[in-house]
Amino acid sequence: SQTIHQWPATLVQPVGSPLSLECTVEGTSNPNLYWYRQAAGRGLQLLFYSVGIGQISSEVPQNLSASRPQDRQFILSSKKLLLSDSGFYLCAWRTGTVTSYNSPLHFGNGTRLTVT
Amino acid sequence: GENVEQHPSTLSVQEGDSAVIKCTYSDSASNYFPWYKQELGKGPQLIIDIRSNVGEKKDQRIAVTLNKTAKHFSLHITETQPEDSAVYFCAASRRGTYKYIFGTGTRLKVLA
């Protein structure tokens, strides 16, 4: 069966420090990978999307970047964190197989980032 | 642009009662509608989904109905239990896109 791992679970970082959040998926090949952010009590904001190694689509211009160095690894980064980067970051995957209907997204358990 | 409206934002029910959450989508090409349950401090978990070729789908105490003409779909939870308390999100998506348009969430509280 497929599993998705995110780490760390929680992170407290000072303003101006770098960030690296990692996500890996097991049990599937060529997944589509996503990064979402969820502000406290709010909905899900899509940040980045990837269909393959080195292929990243950005949804919202901001202080963050994403990379996909391996098929099942997705990394969210920042060179200098802002207070507004605080939030709950979720990685998700879906099958890369194209069918008549989209397949479900499967989320990890997220990273709670607090920028102080 | 595409939009999914979700109501209500909060819902309190007595244990054993039913709960209904409704979503309306704007993109008439949407053909896949998943529902997610998010418990505190965790990621959203898929609980049920429906494709546009059916009008209703059930899984034990959970059911989803879809009205393509009106462009709305609903989550029905029967015989609610305290462990059903969570935030529920609906979403809509269409074939060939990477986007899933999420509703703003419903906080369900089941009172014992």
- Residues from chain B that touch A49, judged by Cβ atoms under 8 A, are 98
- Residues from chain B that touch A51, judged by Cβ atoms under 8 A, are 98
Does the pLDDT of residue B80 top 70, yes or no? yes
The CA distance from A61 to the nearest CA of chain B, in Å, is 17
Rounded to whole angstroms, how far apart are CA atoms A33 and A56? 9
Which of A32, A46, A90 lies nearest to residue B43, judging by beta carbons?
A90
The CA distance from A19 to the nearest CA of chain B, in Å, is 20
Q: Can you name the residues that pair with A65 across neighbouring β-strands?
A: A77
Query: Is B77 in contact with B62 (CB distance < 8 Å)?
Result: yes
Q: Count of residues for chain B?
A: 112
Rounded to whole angstroms, how far apart are CA atoms B57 and B75? 10
Identify the burial level of A83 via C-beta atoms within 10 angstroms of its C-beta, where 0-12 means exposed, 13-18 middle and 19 or more buried: exposed
DSSP structural state of residue A76: E
What average pLDDT does the structure give for chain B?
Answer: 95
Does the pLDDT of residue B76 top 80, yes or no? yes
**Cβ contact, residue pair A98, B89, below 8 Å:** no
**Cβ contact, residue pair B43, A104, below 8 Å:** no
- Element holding A58 (H helix, E strand): strand A55-58
- Residues from chain A that touch B40, judged by Cβ atoms under 8 A, are none
pLDDT tens digits for A57-103? 998 867 899 999 999 999 999 999 999 999 999 999 998 777 777 88
The strand pair at A111-115 and A10-13 is best described as parallel
Other Cβ atoms less than 10 A from the Cβ of B40: the count is 7
Largest CA distance in chain A: 46
The CA distance from A102 to the nearest CA of chain B, in Å, is 5
| 3-state SS assignment for residue A83 | helix
Identify the burial level of B103 via C-beta atoms within 10 angstroms of its C-beta, where 0-12 means exposed, 13-18 middle and 19 or more buried: buried
Mean pLDDT on A48-64: 89
**Cβ contact, residue pair A43, B89, below 8 Å:** yes
Mean pLDDT on B36-55: 95
Does the pLDDT of residue A3 top 70, yes or no? yes
- Best of A50, A99, A101 to substitute, by most chain B Cβ atoms within 10 angstroms, is A101
Which of B89, B93, B94 lies nearest to residue A44, judging by beta carbons?
B89
